[in-house]
Amino acid sequence: MNPNIAQISTKKIAKSAASLEPSAMITLFEIDLSELVARGERVVWTNISEPIRSELRFHNNLKLVQNNITWNGDDYFPAPIKASGFETSAKGSPPTPKLTIAINPEGLDEETQLRIKYIKYAIRDLDSLVGAKVTRIRTFAKYIDGANFYDNYGVTTGPADGQQKLKSNILTPPEGFDPDENAYFPKDIYFIDRKSGENKNTVEFELASPFDLQGLKLPGRVVTENSCVWTYRGEGCCYEYTNIKKTDVGEMHHNENSNCKATVDGSAPPVATFKNESLKTIVGVSALIHSPDSSNGYTPGALWNQGIAYKKGQYVRIQLKGVNYYFVSRANGNTANPPPHETFWVADECSKDMKGCSVRWRNNPEIPNQANTTPLPIGAFPTSRRGGSS
């Protein structure tokens, strides 16, 4: 930004704030989810037509305008929001504002209903949005984009008149209308610290300043000798089929890089239960079925299909929040009962210890010629004990 332009815009805001009759105050909110969804394992799964978003923009100026507000080229949709506690003090700790959002979309227009539903799905799938960046932007109505009041703002309606055509469904521009994307108060930036309340109509978040270290615990990650912290086949864990290390939205599995190990043939078949019991022994077969079967349309490790009558030893997967969970059929003709029904399926799970990691990466019974992987890619610190080794 040009320093001279910034100085002019700052003076505008200061002058308007000191005016006895300023135009209406506009408050805009942004919730940045980009850090939460940057990795393919954390995805917002919805059954609505709303596109996947990494940033949610909305405003609560419903008494002024019921439509979207355009500011700096971005659209902010109207939503019933209550924000409080942003006041700062020279004494004590930083403020901990609270943001209350209505999550009951009844009575709102169709577009707003979809946005509200998306927020509900995001809260469900992204750990209540903890860690998301929240920005509060305040300016005066006279400085928001001209597109809020005029059709094709900046383009004349005719070669001679040079007049803009007012939108028919909105209020007339405020007195002294002067669109300026740089004229706003300093942004208030916070992060969602926790979900402090929820009912069928609203959800309340408590925000924290990025400089607020109260309650911070060190170390950020606990050092454990024999307990893996990774999500099995998910965040941190490398054991997954190389050819399906992608989510349904096309983003790469964040472990798929040169630092993540792969098995000898790139496969990662089901192996054992969380007690390290062999799946083929439990099912009663000499080996799991790793080849396609044209007689029933079976493909190893494919998503469960109700139209397939699975045979004993064949295995499928279901997907939850971007993580694949594998299940082996206990009997022939298994079709009507989807996993994880324990009577018909046995789950592939990891014991999250050295033995569970070893059975997958060293002499895996389901992978011929599997070489010993050294060191084991376990999310623990085996050498943290005196004289330890992996």
pLDDT band at 138 (very low <50, low <70, confident <90, very high): very high
Q: Which two tokens stand for residue 189?
A: 């930036």
Residue 252: the pLDDT is 45
Question: Is the CB of residue 204 less than 8 Å from the CB of residue 198?
Answer: yes
Q: Stretch 123-136: mean pLDDT, rounded?
A: 86
Residue 117: the pLDDT is 82
Cα 145 to Cα 341: distance, rounded to the nearest angstrom: 56
Give me the sign of the Cα torsion angle 327, 332, 333, 337.
Answer: negative
pLDDT band at 359 (very low <50, low <70, confident <90, very high): very high
Task: Provide the 3-class DSSP secondary structure of residue 215.
Answer: coil
CA neighbor of 143 nearest in space, from 172, 171, 182: 182
Asked which of 18-32, 118-132, 204-218 is least confident by mean pLDDT, the reply is: 204-218
Q: Give phi and psi for 319, each to the nearest 5.
A: -125, 135
Report the share of the chain in percent with pLDDT over 70.
Answer: 82
Cα 175 to Cα 173: distance, rounded to the nearest angstrom: 7
Per the model's pLDDT, the better-predicted residue between 40 and 125 turns out to be: 125
Q: Stretch 377-387: mean pLDDT, rounded?
A: 78
pLDDT band at 171 (very low <50, low <70, confident <90, very high): low
Per the model's pLDDT, the better-predicted residue between 340 and 43 turns out to be: 340
Q: Output the pTM of the full model.
A: 0.58
Strands 55-59 and 74-78: parallel
Report the share of the chain in percent with pLDDT over 90.
Answer: 27
59 pLDDT exceeds 60?
yes
Cα 128 to Cα 75: distance, rounded to the nearest angstrom: 24
pLDDT band at 319 (very low <50, low <70, confident <90, very high): confident
Asked which of 18-22, 119-123, 166-170, 371-375 is least confident by mean pLDDT, the reply is: 166-170
Cα 148 to Cα 167: distance, rounded to the nearest angstrom: 8
Question: Is the CB of residue 13 less than 8 Å from the CB of residue 139?
Answer: yes
Q: Which two tokens stand for residue 80?
A: 């019933």
Per the model's pLDDT, the better-predicted residue between 256 and 66 turns out to be: 66
Asked which of 45-49, 245-249, 308-312 is least confident by mean pLDDT, the reply is: 245-249
Return the top range by mean pLDDT from 146-150, 283-287, 371-375, 382-386: 283-287
Q: Give phi and psi for 236, each to the nearest 5.
A: 95, -30
Average pLDDT, rounded, for the chain: 81
Write the DSSP string, 183-229.
--PPPEEEEEEEEEEE-SSEEEEEEE-TT--TT--SSSS---SS---
24 pLDDT exceeds 70?
yes
Give, as one character, the DSSP assignment of residue 356: H
Residue 297: the pLDDT is 94
User: Could you report the per-residue pLDDT of 242-297, keeping only the tens digit for each?
Assistant: 877 654 444 445 555 555 777 777 889 999 999 999 999 999 999 999 999 999 99
Residue 48: the pLDDT is 61
Residue 52: the pLDDT is 62
Q: What is the CA radius of gyration of the chain?
A: 28
Give the chain's count of helices (H) and strands (E). 5, 14
Residue 280: the pLDDT is 94
Per the model's pLDDT, the better-predicted residue between 60 and 257 turns out to be: 60
pLDDT band at 299 (very low <50, low <70, confident <90, very high): very high
